[in-house]
Structures are given as C-alpha cells and as structure tokens.
Amino acid sequence: MNTLTGTELIRDFVTRLPSKPGVYRMFDAKGDAIYVGKAKNLKNRVSNYALGQGHNNRIALMISITCNMEFVVTESEADALLLEANLIKKLRPKFNVLLRDDKSFPYILIAKDHAVAQLAKHRGARNRKGNYYGPFASAGAVNNAINTMQKAFLLRSCNDSVYANRTRPCLLYQIKRCSAPCVGYITPEDYSELVQEAEDFLTSKSTAVKAELAKKMEEAAEALEFENAARYRDRIQAMSFVTQTQGINPQTVDEADVFGLALEGGQYCIQVFFIRSGQNWGTRAYFPKTDKSMEEAEVLSSFLSQFYDDKPIPSQIIISQDFDERNLLEEAFTAHAGKRIEILVPQRGEKKALVEHAVTNAREANGRRMAESSSQGKLLEGVAKVFGLASPPRRIEVYDNSHIQGAHAVGGMIVAGPDGFMKAQYRKFNIKAETYQAGDDFAMMHEMLTRRFTRLIKEHGDEQEDDESVNWPDLLLIDGGQGQLSAVQAVLADLGLHDLPVVGVAKGPDRDAGREHFHTSGKPSFMLEARDPVLYYIQRLRDEAHRFAIGTHRAKRSKAIGLNPLDEISGIGPTRKKALLLSFGSAKAIAKANVADLAAVSGVSTQLAQMIYDHFHPENS
C-alpha cells in the first residue's frame, strides 16, 4: 500500500509515466475519484502537479488530498478527451466540472416495424425500426410537435394492439387528427404518401411540402371539391403554426446546437438551442457544478465533452466563446460521430445573433434561478428555526409508503435541498412481503429506513461528513405520527445514529391540509400557523413524496396485472404461451387441464405438458 500523499506521491508516479496521451485519475484516502484529467503527454502534464507551487487554492487542495492515481494510455489526445468525458460522467469527481440534470432527450419516431407506420414520442435506446427525429429539448416540446403533426399529416399514434382491434375509427379521426387507416378509410398508398410528407417536413423540406399541399388545395378548389380543399388548407395552417410559434427560425442554419454561457453571482448557466431541419426544436438551461475559480473557457469545454458523451452530435456546434481545445474537440467529435463536425464561434450574421440570443436567455435563466434559490434559502432557514436545527438543511429526505391492503407494497424516498427537488436522488423500495404483516405501515417504514441507512453506512461509514457527494441527510420527514416516528428512531438507534433529526408529519383532523401535527423527539407535538410559509413548504414535500410512492405502487401493480402464471414455467416462450391460451382461453383453464389435453396443443410435448400440470398441482408432484 502506498503511504505517500500529495506532491510526494505524484512525483513518485511521474518517474514511471510514459510521454504518451492518456487519462489520469486522482483518488482520496477513501478511494473515491476526486479528479479526472486528460493529457497529450501524461508525463509532462502530471509533472506540473508535482511542482508544489503556482497552483490556485482549488488545485492545491486537490493535490494535498490525493492518495493514489491511476492512468490509461490512449492512441491519441482526441481519444483521451472522449474517455475523460465518459469517466467524469461515471465517477462524478468533485474537482471536475459536472454536468447536472443530464436526462435523456425525447425524439419523434416514425416507427416502421408495422405495415402502417406509427407517429410516436421516443426516449431511450433506439431499438425500434423506423426513423428518429430530434432531439427535442423537453417532453412538452415533442408533445407539441406531435400534436401539430397529427393535424398536418393525419398519422396514427395508437399502439399496434389498439390498431389491430379497431372496428370503427377513434376520436382522433373525428377531430381530424388521424386518417383512420385501421378501418380502411385511407388506402395504403395514400397513407404512405402522408408518411413521406411527414418525413420531408422533419428533414428540411417543409417549404416543398407546403408548396405541394398548396398546389393540391388549388386543384381541389378548381374541381369544386371544397371539402378536400379545406383539409389541405388546415394541414398547411398546422405546419405554418410550428414556425410561427418557435420564436427562432434561422434561415441559414439547418442542423446545429447553439450554446450560450453566462456567469452571474458565481453561478454558470449554459443555454442550449436545438435547431434541426431549419426549425427550433426547443431550448434547455443547464447549471453545471463548478468551482468559482474556473474560467469560462474551461467550463464550456468540459461541459461540451460531457454533453455529447451519449448523444447524437449535429453537424454544427455554435458557441458563444472560444477555447483552446476547440480544434481538438472538433477532431474527437468527428471521430465519434463518423461525420464532419464543426465548432463555430461566429463573429457576425445570423449565427452571431443566435449565440447572443442564447447568452441572453442564459442570463435570464440564471437570474430566475438565483431568485428561486434566495426564496428557497429563506424557507430552509424557516425549517431550521421551526425544528431547532443548528443550520438550514442542505438535504431533506422525505419517506412515504403505498399499498392496497398490503399488496404490491412499495416505499418512496424523495430529496429536497437548496436547489429544490433533487429528482435524480429519489429512491424506491420494494417491500419484501415476508418481513411484515399486510398493511403494517410501521414495519414497512422500519424496513425502508433500515435498508437506506445500512447501505449508506456501508458505503461511507457513520460519519456525517461535510460533503454533498456522500448524501447524508440533515433532516428526515416521515409521513405519520408518533408511531412512525418511534419506528424510525428505533432503526437509527440500532445503527448507532443518534443525532439525525427526524420529524413525523401527521395529517390533521379529517385529513385537512393546514392542520398537520408535527412530532419530534423529546417534545410534545405542535402545529404551525395556517399561513406559515414553512407549513406550505412541508406540505409540498409531503405531497411530492406521496405522489412518488403512489406512482411507484401503481407501476408495480400494473406490471403484476400483466403477468401470467405461464411466464413462471421454464420452456414456455411466447409461441407456446400463445398456443396454450388459444386452445384453452385462459390461464385458469390451463390450470384445470389434464396432461393429455395439454399435450394435444401444438408445440407442447408430453414432458412439457407434465411440467405444466405439476406447476399448477404441486401437491401431486
């Protein structure tokens, strides 16, 4: 085991490092990664850390707590840059720029795994056959686009099972948002033409599509087919509505992401505009976690490399300010995407105007966030005062559970802090049936808290460090009264955690909001004034925990409803399962069948029939 630390440790590693490109990682005494960096020349880059002088406070602290290092040699500096971004997102070292709120983006999918193409919203892995268009900045943006495309192109949005079982057109046909291919109201050839028009619209050919529809409208009017002419008019208006409501409609930019960076009050904000097919497909603001000593160029460079680690890269990336590694990033993105990628810093024209607009939006988003943080800070100060905490809590964990007479029991934990709800930190707990009697809320809470804090102690010890990455809560809120509070305190006592504040929030008489009773250790329960902002805040936290627990419970229940007893039998796949259900009508009927009847089903051997029979009649096996 290496006993050296800081500059001495780094000097020792330098003697064995090659003069090749690669990635290095620094670790603290616990073995946690605290920094990931890349280098064109590992030996030269790491040697700088061994000088022991000329570093700012952030770097000096990082060096001083370094207890180990690891290195990966790469073929090129561009490869090192991509690996660095991947490791930063995976390890989240506290001395790097960290991209927060990195949810996947939604896309429009024109699915072609069915004879009749489907218009759908898609998020996640691209496993379905079809064409994907995006990204869109938010679910709202993609929903609006799909809503417009339904009006303009009349494509079906129903899933395949609904489509297969239609005997008459659905409501979407009645409100002129679907052409009803399910019941043959449109020929396959005409529907394919609608699909092609939709794809043209999504691939920079919207002007041509509108021109063709305008021509058809005029022809229909001249032929006195006014109803058809009106349909074409409505479709043209729907397409025009997209560009009228987008706010930004560049004439010289077809496919690009535009990044504008703003620094206000020590907080960076990066606003992103997504432009595809010459259309604005939404915007999103990011607030990367950085140290105040970091320069704008360093923040933007690191942000971009992480941003595109798992996303499709557009042909152009337009940024508000230049940085030293722009050419290197272009090289890395080009290799990663398999096509030419440009990173532009425009000085004039429409692209410059787009960047300036993005920067303005970043400043405004930063201002709103700081105002919200100030308000949130006052609320947390109020929480500290009400519950006698030494300082405003940075992390509040709220627990709730949900079940129906003990069935499909789940627990939910939501987290809130100075930046509001921290949804990436939410956790669900599948309560194990054997650990409690049906409906025993106390036992459910006991299991949930035991699992949560046993794991936390196992990973980080029982010392509540001043480090947000450890995820130690400053306050626990429990949905319930003295009983639930006692159950939680028993768990914490068993684990040796005696100083963690816990508050039980009991619903008031008749479950009235505003009349909640608060239970804490060592003092009688109390209420807050009906108009106290802290009361409203606690209610919001409790309602969010309840929403999360209920949603998790419903998802578990829905999944259970969809299960079939045949799924538990080895050797029965989709084909045999379908054959059995077609022969007997239901799993219940299959359970009553004898071996001979089961073996008569196509694809079911006598041996498998016996296995099925034994599964449903364990007393006879």
Residues 602 and 549 in one domain: no
Neighbours of 380 (CB within 10 A): 23
What pLDDT score was predicted for residue 620? 57
Looking at residues 138-153, what average pLDDT do you find? 79
Looking at residues 255-265, what average pLDDT do you find? 88
Residues 457 and 576 in one domain: no
Q: List the structure tokens of 132.
A: 């994907």
Among the listed ranges 132-136, 200-204, 214-218, 480-484, which one has the minimum average pLDDT value? 200-204
Residues 238 and 117 in one domain: yes
Q: List the structure tokens of 153.
A: 């192109």
Instruction: Answer with the residue of higher pLDDT: 561 or 517.
Output: 517
Residues 84 and 153 in one domain: no
Q: What is the pTM assigned to this prediction?
A: 0.66
Look at residue 49 and tell me if it is in a domain. Answer: yes
Q: How many domains does the chain have?
A: 5
Whether the upstream peptide bond of residue 618 has omega within 30° of 0, thus cis, is no
Are 476 and 416 a contacting pair, CB within 8 Å?
no
Look at residue 72 and tell me if it is in a domain. Answer: yes
Instruction: Write the CATH number for 38.
Output: 3.40.1440.10
Domain C-terminal end among 192, 216, 245? 245
What pLDDT score was predicted for residue 27? 94
Instruction: Write the CATH number for 484.
Output: 3.30.420.340
Look at residue 176 and tell me if it is in a domain. Answer: yes
Look at residue 379 and tell me if it is in a domain. Answer: no
Domain C-terminal end among 503, 538, 556? 556
Angle at 89 between CA 86 and CA 94, to 5 degrees: 125
Look at residue 549 and tell me if it is in a domain. Answer: yes
Residues 403 and 549 in one domain: yes
Q: Is the pLDDT of residue 368 over 50?
A: yes
Are 531 and 508 a contacting pair, CB within 8 Å?
no
Q: Is the pLDDT of residue 473 over 70?
A: yes
Look at residue 377 and tell me if it is in a domain. Answer: no
Averaged confidence pLDDT in the chain: 82
Instruction: Write the CATH number for 574.
Output: 1.10.150.20
Q: Is the pLDDT of residue 36 over 90?
A: yes
Written as one string, the DSSP assignment of 82-125 is HHHHHHHHHH--TTS-B--S-PPPPEEEEE-SSSS-EEEEE-S-
What pLDDT score was predicted for residue 244? 46
Looking at residues 44-57, what average pLDDT do you find? 86
Look at residue 99 and tell me if it is in a domain. Answer: no
Q: How confident is the model at residue 159 (pLDDT cuts 50, 70, 90)?
A: confident
Residue 176 phi/psi, 5-degree rounding, is 65, 45
Domain C-terminal end among 223, 245, 267? 245
Look at residue 373 and tell me if it is in a domain. Answer: no
Residues 183 and 87 in one domain: no
Helix (H) or strand (E) holding 56: none
Exposed, middle or buried: residue 606 (CB in 10 Å: 0-12, 13-18, 19+)? exposed
Residues 549 and 589 in one domain: no
Closest CA to 278 of 343, 200, 330, 336: 200
Residues 453 and 420 in one domain: yes
Instruction: Write the CATH number for 306.
Output: 3.30.420.10
Q: Using one digit for the tens of pLDDT, what is the confidence trace for 274-307?
A: 888 777 778 888 888 888 778 888 899 999 998 8
What pLDDT score was predicted for residue 558? 57
b/e map 127-143, b = 16+ CB within 10 Å: eeebbebbbbbbeebbe
Residues 403 and 552 in one domain: yes
Q: Using one digit for the tens of pLDDT, what is the confidence trace for 577-618?
A: 888 877 777 777 788 888 888 888 888 888 888 888 887 776
Containing structural domain, residue 34: 6-91
Q: Is the pLDDT of residue 469 over 60?
A: no
Residues 599 and 505 in one domain: no
Looking at residues 336-363, what average pLDDT do you find? 90
Residues 44 and 139 in one domain: no
Q: Using one digit for the tens of pLDDT, what is the confidence trace for 556-575?
A: 555 555 556 676 677 787 78
What pLDDT score was predicted for residue 33? 93
Q: Is the pLDDT of residue 202 over 90?
A: no
Number of H helices, E strands in the chain: 20, 19
Closest CA to 557 of 454, 404, 451: 404
Residues 194 and 298 in one domain: no
- Sequence-distant (6+) residues with CB within 8 A of 409 are 401, 402, 403, 430, 431, 433, 436, 444, 553
Q: List the structure tokens of 81.
A: 């840059």
Q: Is the pLDDT of residue 319 over 90?
A: yes
What pLDDT score was predicted for residue 543? 86
